[in-house]
Amino acid sequence: MARGRRGGGARVERFPGGARLVEADVVLSEVRSAPGPTHDLFDLLAAAVVALSPGPRLALLGFAAGGVLAPLRGMGWEHPVEAVDLDLSGVALFRELCGDWAGEVRVDREDALAWLARRRRRFDAILEDLSVPGIDGGTKPPVSLDGLPELIPRRLVPGGVAVVNLLPVTGMGWGEIVAAAGSCYPARLLVEFELWENRVLLGGDALPPAREAGRRIRERLRALGSREADRIRVRTLPPGPAAPRA
């Protein structure tokens, strides 16, 4: 099941305690009215940041309606979040449902590559959650496989972590997608799901072993009360080449 990140043209489906942005039967974002679990891959994305980031500075590339904020704040991450998205139509829904508890969240309307290239300070964690409509649902934009893989490592502090939500790409197998998105990380882990077709790439200049990273992530998920805690697998990927720092 693809979980995209573009709000344009999407309909809002409300349910007790939150709402979903849905386009062509693909869930673009799931927003909760209080901090806590979503019981889907948003929980994993948040848990990877909380478990592996060496510090408080987080960049979110792709915002939609801020679905990751409920689990992120539910895990006790109280730090400011800097986000960017080309489509800000979901921000009003986020402010409506999450404005009372979301804390400091800044969302800029800009191309993610250009936005990240302009940052002067480096980030402790960068969550890349970009998508565009595809033939069979959400897919990754070209910049996620050519451009951002080279830039993101340069915008991380030493020991920082990249968390990249991967989606199917027409004409490419999962091995090719993972190789392209993770081409510049000396240390790489891959998270696979029991229920979702997505994969999540974890990259950096140094990461814990897969067993330890998985333990930390599951610990955060269980503390949150997320059902995803027992539905993930974390494995090690061969190291990529060291990326030059700018």
241 — pLDDT class (breaks 50, 70, 90):
low
Pairing outcome for strands 81-85 and 105-109? parallel
Rounded to an integer, the average pLDDT of 164-176 is 94
Cβ–Cβ < 8 Å for 61, 35: no
CA angle 184, 189, 193 (to 5 degrees): 130
* The two structure tokens encoding residue 105: 């969240």
Q: What is the mean pLDDT of the chain?
A: 91
Angstrom distance (rounded) from CA 93 to CA 97: 6
Mean pLDDT of 156-170: 96
Please determine, for residue 9, whether its predicted confidence score (pLDDT) is greater than 80: no
Residues in CB range of 23: below 8 A, 6 or more apart:
4, 6, 9, 10, 11, 133
Q: Which residues contact 72 (CB under 8 A, 6 or more apart)?
A: 46, 49, 50, 81
- CA dihedral defined by 82, 133, 10, 103, rounded to 10 degrees? -10
- Averaged pLDDT for residues 135-149: 90
CA distance 116 to 224: 30
Tell me: pLDDT of 3 over 50: no
> Residue 135: what pLDDT?
76
The pLDDT > 70 percentage for the chain reads 92
Would you call 116 helix, strand, or coil by DSSP? helix
Q: Above 60 in pLDDT, residue 133?
A: yes
- Kindly tell me if the per-residue pLDDT of 2 is higher than 60: no
- 215-233 tens-digit pLDDT: 999 999 999 999 999 999 9
pLDDT in tens, 68-102: 999 999 999 999 999 999 989 889 999 999 999 99
Contact (CB, 8 A) for 168 and 136: yes
Residue-wise pLDDT tens digits, 39-75: 989 999 999 999 999 999 999 999 989 999 999 999 9
Residue 181 DSSP SS3: helix
% of the chain with per-residue pLDDT over 90: 78
Strand arrangement of the beta sheet that strand 11-15 belongs to: 11-15, 18-23, 26-32
